[in-house]
Amino acid sequence: MKSLFIFAFFSAISIAAASTAYPSIPGLDSGDCSLTGDETNLVPPRREVYDDGRLFDITHRFVPEMPVWDSKEGLGHFLWLADSMKNGSRANGSAMKLGVHTGTHVDAPGHFYDNYFDAGFDVDTLDIGLLNGLVLLVDVPRDNNITAEVMKSLYIPKGVRRVLFRTLNTDRKLMFKKEFDTSYVGFMEDGAKWLVENTDIKLVGVDYLSVAAYVHSVQSHLVFLESREIILVEGLKLDGVPAGIYSLNCLPLRLVGSEASPIRCILNR
């Protein structure tokens, strides 16, 4: 009886651990433990925060359960072991097939302007200087899309060039839910216009798959991308990171001819 109880107890713990492993909360990730653990236990570290809380990884992991635009099924099977040592290959070699707007990613001007696409304004042409530098992480009022009114209320000073907008999407953990949710919040057209006309922001980061609210998914993108001066980073993982000023490092792949790319983004304080 006692052993049954112990078994049940540990089963409960492992179920809890499995359910907290993904989604994970930065700083509480169980993977951290393995850093000080026995080298032989072969538990790989999976971290959200590095260097004693100095570096935050704000990139989502690619997993089959992550949401993709307008799908109930999530990303699904995207990675496979094309060459396997178990099947006699000299080394393991994986292959993948992935939409370029999957997970944490960046949009280039060609995403909503076909003439820019044809002219070659792909992710390889994005300004790396803009993707790396001082950034402001702000909390947006939770009850609303990002409208002109909301933008006004944030009082983002002139001179600020990069802003990450944390919204209700983070609270709702939408990026950890397989089914695409059209009720996510994002920029309404008037909010995008207000930003373009009244601020110096050239890098806009958001915490779901689109910078634009679902009902304005075309209009807001058009406003942001028209000048080809604004870079949109979408699907950021902003859970558990204190609001404030950081140094941002974001690096897309050099996908020539592509209007988007997966991107790795790190905040450094």
| Sites of contact with Zn ion (CB under 5 A) | 101, 107, 234, 260
Shorter beta-carbon distance to Zn ion: residue 68 or 156:
68
User: Least distance from C-beta 105 to Zn ion, angstroms?
Assistant: 6
User: Least distance from C-beta 243 to Zn ion, angstroms?
Assistant: 24
User: Strands 260-268 and 132-139: what pairing?
Assistant: unpaired
Shorter beta-carbon distance to Zn ion: residue 123 or 241:
123
Shorter beta-carbon distance to Zn ion: residue 147 or 210:
210
Query: Which residue's Cβ has the minimum distance to Zn ion?
Result: 101
Q: Let me know if 79 is exposed, middle or buried by CB neighbors in 10 A (0-12, 13-18, 19+).
A: middle
Shorter beta-carbon distance to Zn ion: residue 49 or 262:
262
Shorter beta-carbon distance to Zn ion: residue 151 or 231:
231
User: Least distance from C-beta 189 to Zn ion, angstroms?
Assistant: 17
User: Least distance from C-beta 106 to Zn ion, angstroms?
Assistant: 8
User: Least distance from C-beta 107 to Zn ion, angstroms?
Assistant: 4
SS3 labels along the chain: CHHHHHHHHHHHHHHHHHHHHCCCCCCCCHHHHHHCCCHHHCCCCCCCEECCCCEEECCCCCCCCCCCCCCCCCCCCCEEEEECHHHCCCCCEEEECCCCCCCCEEECHHHCCHHHHHHCCCHHHCCCCCCEEEEEEEECCCCCCECHHHHHHHCCCCCCCEEEEECHHHHCCHHHCCCCCCCCCCECHHHHHHHHHHCCCCEEEECCCCCECHHHHHHHHHHHHCCCCCEEEECCCCCCCCCEEEEEEEEECCCCCCCEEEEEEEEEC
User: Least distance from C-beta 100 to Zn ion, angstroms?
Assistant: 8
Shorter beta-carbon distance to Zn ion: residue 51 or 127:
127
